[in-house]
Structure 1
Amino acid sequence: MRYKLDDELLKRTASGLVLAVAFLSGIYIGGIYWQLLCSAIALLSLREYYGMLSIHFHVSKGIGFGAAITILSATWCSTRAEIYLVVLVVSTFAVFICEIIRRELKGHSTALRNVGGTTSGLLYVVLPWSFIIQLRFNPLGLILLLTLFACTWSCDVAAFFAGKKWGRAPLSPAVSPKKTWEGFFSGLLGSILCATFIAYALALPPFPLVLMGTLVGIAGQLGDLSESLLKRETGVKDSGHLIPGHGGLLDRFDSIILSGTLFYLLFELLL
């Protein structure tokens, strides 16, 4: 049993290091490499999301992927929010048209679930990754993304090990029985300490980065719980099997997408 646990931890660590190198390189290089990396993660994550929903009802994957590619392509040439809204509206009506045809031909339709499933994949997966792509174009994009990813990983590691060793009080037993309040606060502390270290290493004012670390420590774990709820309702253990020791891409990046969206809101739209 101990050997099996150590082997699983080794696989988790190795695959985590590979992902860390890929993303830290992408953050540093930026440009087309960063856009292609994030776009690939978004499309593969969307595939996992639609795969989970398809267990229970039909999802118009073709329309969803067409809309996703359009949204991700728009980040390369424009940051106008109207493009995203138009894509969401057009894809919604495209699904309705498919369901109209289905009802005429087969006598039944699932328009409400299909529209909800198809468009929610764009809202939950694709738009957040498009925001993360655009953060790199910000004058502070390098620091913002470094803080986002480093604090998220620090939060995940601290929450995992502290929860395993000291966890007693369940955080949300009906959604994720293994998560504890001890793990939650340890993850939050890990994120704040990581942000503090970044501020010290780069000789930056600590207060803004500590606030960013706090945001990541809370929002990231809420994003993690959100995906746990999705898996609970669809009856799957992992969103996929692409990453050894982690499961799918949604399992690995569920914490990033909410935090990245909030970073985009703060640093692109409000400040």
Structure 2
Amino acid sequence: MIVGVLGAAVFIGAIWFNEWTYFLIFLGLNLLGIAEFYRLLGAQNIKPNTVLGLALGFLLYTAVFLVQKDMLAVELLLLAVPVLFLAFILEMYRKKEHPFTNIAFTMLGVMYVAVPFALLHLLGFLKGEYSWQPILGLMLLLWASDTGAYIAGKNFGKHKLFQRISPGKTWEGWAGGVILTLAVGYGLSYYFKDLYLYQWLGMAVIISVFGVLGDLVESLLKRDLGVKDSGTLLPGHGGILDRFDSLLMAIPFIVAFLKIF
């Protein structure tokens, strides 16, 4: 409980204060999430190139932020492609077993964690300059989804949502999360004027669907690797991936929705 309250306070403060505190808080989550993902793979004797993956995650996250700040030419993002191919070259010198498996999971860590966090910048700079409203609104919608699902699932949950992967989730819990998320999205439209009502409600729907799918994907990952939690960094809450799995899955769909509509 204390960890959750303190974490929420730090998040809200960092997002609200300015773009650089926002940048730093999510940079930390980005790097910790990548490192945690690679550490989990050790359970299956997979040996991704952790140094390269962290470097790629840092560069991608930072480069997209600087492009949004007009401090870096967007064409320089094309360098990400040849840099990715360094994984093939460096693997020849690492002399590890199953080199292409290691390469694949090195890249997967960047795609699964760093790409969504990098795309988050497009949400923060949706109007051309940094605004905390879309990002903080996103976090509030995610928290509403989790809270609504927990309350409804605990009190009314009977029908399993996806028992093979996550036995604790129910359709009733999911419905409760949808209702509370839509309600919060409606309320946000009155106070956070950067987005229109239909955009807040669209974000709420996307989070309700893809947020829970992100949770299920991470549960599938843990089942595949034979672990209970992704980490122990957050006492009582598991690891970074445990807490932000919904966010990672929802961000690409939200950014696409807001950019198109």
Taking structure 1 as the reference length, the TM-score comes to: 0.85
Deviates more, 1:130-139 or 1:215-224: 130-139
Are 1:235 and 2:223 matched, yes or no?
Answer: no
Q: In structure 2, what is the Cα distance between the partners aligned to 1:114 and 1:84?
A: 24
Residue identity in the other structure for 1:148: L
Question: Given the superposition, is the C-alpha separation of residues 85 and 190 from structure 1 closer, same or farther in structure 2, using an over 3 Å criterion?
Answer: farther
Question: Given the superposition, is the C-alpha separation of residues 82 and 234 from structure 1 closer, same or farther in structure 2, using an over 3 Å criterion?
Answer: farther
Map 1:171-190 to 2 at 5 A: 171-190=161-180
Residue identity in the other structure for 1:98: L
Q: In structure 2, what is the Cα distance between the partners aligned to 1:110 and 1:95?
A: 13
* Corresponding residue of 2:92: 100
* Corresponding residue of 2:132: 142
Q: In structure 2, what is the Cα distance between the partners aligned to 1:255 and 1:83?
A: 30
Return the offset for 1:75. 2.6
Equivalent residues of 1:195, 1:213 under 8 A apart: yes
Are 1:128 and 2:116 matched, yes or no?
Answer: yes
Return the offset for 1:208. 2.8
Q: Percent identity?
A: 31
Residue identity in the other structure for 2:80: V
Q: In structure 2, what is the Cα distance between the partners aligned to 1:50 and 1:144?
A: 30
Equivalent residues of 2:182, 2:204 under 8 A apart: yes
Question: Given the superposition, is the C-alpha separation of residues 173 and 98 from structure 1 closer, same or farther in structure 2, using an over 3 Å criterion?
Answer: same
Are 1:87 and 2:80 matched, yes or no?
Answer: yes
* Secondary structure at the counterpart of residue 260 of structure 1: helix
* Corresponding residue of 1:6: none
Deviates more, 1:14-23 or 1:119-128: 14-23
Return the offset for 1:206. 3.1
Return the offset for 1:102. 4.7
Q: In structure 1, what is the Cα distance between the partners aligned to 2:233 and 2:203?
A: 30
Q: In structure 2, what is the Cα distance between the partners aligned to 1:70 and 1:205?
A: 33
Deviates more, 1:232-241 or 1:24-33: 24-33
Q: RMSD over aligned Cα, in angstroms?
A: 2.2
Residue identity in the other structure for 2:123: L
* Corresponding residue of 1:66: 55
Unmatched 5+ stretches in structure 1: 1-12
Unmatched 5+ stretches in structure 2: none
Return the offset for 1:95. 2.4
Equivalent residues of 1:168, 1:180 under 8 A apart: yes
Q: In structure 2, what is the Cα distance between the partners aligned to 1:82 and 1:266?
A: 24
Equivalent residues of 1:196, 1:209 under 8 A apart: yes
Deviations 1:134-154 (A, max 9, x none): 422222843321221101001
Question: Given the superposition, is the C-alpha separation of residues 223 and 141 from structure 1 closer, same or farther in structure 2, using an over 3 Å criterion?
Answer: farther
Q: In structure 1, what is the Cα distance between the partners aligned to 2:258 and 2:15?
A: 17
Deviations 1:224-257 (A, max 9, x none): 1111111110111111111122101111111111
* Corresponding residue of 1:32: 20
Equivalent residues of 2:133, 2:192 under 8 A apart: no
Equivalent residues of 1:42, 1:125 under 8 A apart: yes
Question: Given the superposition, is the C-alpha separation of residues 155 and 71 from structure 1 closer, same or farther in structure 2, using an over 3 Å criterion?
Answer: same
Residue identity in the other structure for 2:109: G
Equivalent residues of 2:52, 2:87 under 8 A apart: yes
Q: In structure 2, what is the Cα distance between the partners aligned to 1:81 and 1:217?
A: 32
